[in-house]
Amino acid sequence: MTYVLASCLQEAVFARLTGDTALAGLVGTAIFDAAPQGQLPSIYVAIGPEDVVARSDKTGRTAQHRFVVSIVTDEAGFQAAKRVAAVVDTALTTARLPMARGTVVSLSFYKAKARRERAGTRRRIDLQFQALVDDA
């Protein structure tokens, strides 16, 4: 097991999302590691929690990371959030994700959960991705 690549993976995910022009067209610069304090944007993307399990064997030091990227909006309905979620999914899963250290062996969509928050005034979609990383 290795957790040494967790920060590198988060940095790579953040760089990919903030560098995606299609995503910028939908949310501007509202892409965060954590939701900001104070007035929140009408729609934003936040990198959330992760679970990591060992996948190392005698051939390498690997770990499986399941991490959440959330889309949160105060717009009525889920349509805007679903458009953003589709762009996030495409940005993360259709091209190799370079890291400062180690290698992303695979990165795929795992599951999603869409729900209403704040008495129905806010919509949230949590996308969960699964990444296998190797510290080779």
**Range(s) of the domain holding residue 123:** 6-134
pLDDT in tens, 72-107: 999 989 999 999 999 999 999 999 999 999 999 999
Q: Count how many domains the chain has.
A: 1
- For residue 81, is it within any domain? yes
Secondary structure (DSSP) of 43-73: EEEEEEEEEEEE--BTTB-EEEEEEEEEEEE
- For residue 88, is it within any domain? yes
Angle between helices 6-18 and 79-93 (to 10 degrees): 120
- For residue 12, is it within any domain? yes
- For residue 22, is it within any domain? yes
pTM for the model stands at 0.93
- For residue 124, is it within any domain? yes
- CATH code: domain of residue 111: 3.30.2000.30
* Percent with pLDDT over 70 in the chain: 99
